[in-house]
Amino acid sequence: MNFFLIVGALLFGAKISWTLVFGAYVVYEIFWKRRRLPPGPAPWLLAGNMPSFVVASSIDELFLNWKRKFGPIFTVWIGPIPLVMVCDLTTIRKYFVQNADAFSNRWRNFITDSIMG
């Protein structure tokens, strides 16, 4: 068999393999991770919603626009990390005061703490 045919077949197989791996990664990031979360602005593949924070003139106005568009509970992505935002006082009381035991030991993230304040 010709050497170049073998090398060409291997390279073609590698391209297909990498395409399938990348396609699986995109499906996982865009569809699978978001399936049980509240709606929110569509995240970029690796950056999440960080580009929206960079170009926004006011983060407060950005969150108010998202609240108007998606309702009092929505998901914001800081890179690959989802943050579920609760923006309504009655909903905050319902989830965080009545169910305080479920939320009292949540992990803290340095990056999101520094961005969100």
**pLDDT tens, position by position, for the chain (117 residues)?**
566 556 555 556 666 676 777 778 778 777 787 788 899 998 887 888 888 888 888 888 999 999 999 998 999 988 888 888 888 888 888 877 777 777 666 666 666 667 665
Strand partners, 48: 44, 78
Find the domain containing 24 and state its range: 1-32
| DSSP helix/strand/coil, 45 | coil
Strand boundaries in 6-78, DSSP class E: 73-78
Domain count, the chain: 2
**pLDDT recorded at residue 111:** 66
| Whether the predicted model's global pTM rises above the 0.85 cut | no
Residue 67: predicted pLDDT: 92
**Same domain? 63 vs 15:** no
Residue 18 sits in the same domain as residue 48: no
Q: Which of 65, 106, 57 is nearest to 83 (CA)?
A: 106
CA distance 105 to 56: 32
62 and 22 belong to one structural domain: no
